[in-house]
Structure 1
Amino acid sequence: MANIHYKSLPEKTADLLSDYLYQQNFRSGEKLPGEIVLAKQFDVSRNTIRSAIKILKENGTLEVQRGSGTFMAARKNLSSDPLGLTLISDKQKLGKDLIDVRLMVEPKLAALAAEYATPFDIKNLEEICKVNSNPRVPFVLQESHFVNEIPVL
Structure 2
Amino acid sequence: MPANDPFLPADETARTLARDLIRDARFAALGGLAQGAPFVTRIALVRGPDGVPLTLVSDLAPHTAALRADPRCSVLVGEPGEKGDPLTHPRLTLQARAAFVARDGAEYAALRDHYLAQQPKAQLYIDFADFHLVRLMPEAGHLNGGFGRAWRLTAADLGQP
TM range (shorter): under 0.3
> TM-score, structure 1 length as denominator?
0.23
Structure richer in helix, relative to its length: 1
Structure richer in strand, relative to its length: 2
Q: 1 or 2 for the larger relative contact order (CA 8 Å, sep ≥6)?
A: 2
> TM-score, structure 2 length as denominator?
0.22
